[in-house]
Amino acid sequence: MGRIAKPHGLYGEVSVEPRTDEPDRRFAVGAVLATRTPGGAAPHGPGRPTSLSVRSARWHQNRLLVGFEEITDRSAAEAARGLVLVCAVDDAERPDDPDEFYDHQLIGAQVLTTDGAVAGELTGILHGAAQDLLAVRTTDGHEALVPFVAALVPSVDVAAGRIVVDDRPGLLRPAPEE
């Protein structure tokens, strides 16, 4: 749902880089969010809680500022910097837009080419400023990054666990030598 960035002020408020299309809903007062390290592990060490309760949330100059019950001063806010915030999502819950998906719905999906050949498995989604990238472990063991755009990913079937990619030279496999 987001990543804790730098502290804001002296009383534990932090800026959060949202990774959700629903920040007002996900960071509502009272929401309890689990925390993970950027690598996906449970955090450990002083000032690195495994869950945080939203005390306050507001927008300031296009930045989301969030206060958590467990973070009460600037030192605690600095210790929490870099933690990734996650929440449990009911499998029946779907984004409002039919062309939007939650990451957990896609990870592990089989990746096929438009001609029906198995290309690999989706292992992750990298969220970038310009566009998202699908991390695909190909059948030959390589990792390919595919821009998650309609021109290259014409079909996503969450129920069937399949993603169709319009393969181009160099996209899923190294480009042939000329």
Please report, for the domain that includes residue 17, its CATH number: 2.40.30.60
Q: Does one domain contain both 109 and 76?
A: no
Res 178: pLDDT: 57
Contact yes or no for 46/53 (Cβ under 8 A): no
Res 102: pLDDT: 75
Q: Is there a domain that residue 66 lies in? A: yes
- Distance (Å) of CA 94 to CA 3, 35, 99, 100, 142: 22, 22, 10, 8, 31
Write down the residue that tokens 């800026």 correspond to: 15
Please identify, among 52, 86, 120, the residue that sits at the C-terminal boundary of a domain. Answer: 86
Res 123: pLDDT: 92
Alpha helices in 30-117 (DSSP H): 74-80, 103-106
Structural tokens at position 74: 């600037």
Determine the Cα–Cα distance for residues 68 and 73; give it in Å rounded to an integer. 10
Res 66: pLDDT: 95
Please identify, among 86, 113, 148, the residue that sits at the C-terminal boundary of a domain. Answer: 86
Q: Is there a domain that residue 110 lies in? A: yes
Other C-beta atoms lying within 10 Å of the C-beta of residue 168: 11
Q: Is there a domain that residue 151 lies in? A: yes
Q: Could you tell me the pTM of the whole model? A: 0.59
Res 23: pLDDT: 86
The values of phi and psi at residue 79, to 5°, are: -65, -30
- The SS3 of residue 24 is helix
Other C-beta atoms lying within 10 Å of the C-beta of residue 97: 8
* Total domains present in the chain: 2
What residue ranges of the chain have pLDDT lower than 50? none
Q: Does one domain contain both 13 and 72?
A: yes
Res 86: pLDDT: 85
Determine the Cα–Cα distance for residues 100 and 156; give it in Å rounded to an integer. 10
Res 60: pLDDT: 92
* Host domain of residue 150: 103-165
Q: Is there a domain that residue 125 lies in? A: yes
Q: Is there a domain that residue 91 lies in? A: no
Q: Is there a domain that residue 98 lies in? A: no
Res 93: pLDDT: 59
Q: Is there a domain that residue 177 lies in? A: no
* Residue 113: CATH number of its domain: 2.30.30.240
Determine the Cα–Cα distance for residues 82 and 92; give it in Å rounded to an integer. 30
Q: Does one domain contain both 13 and 73?
A: yes
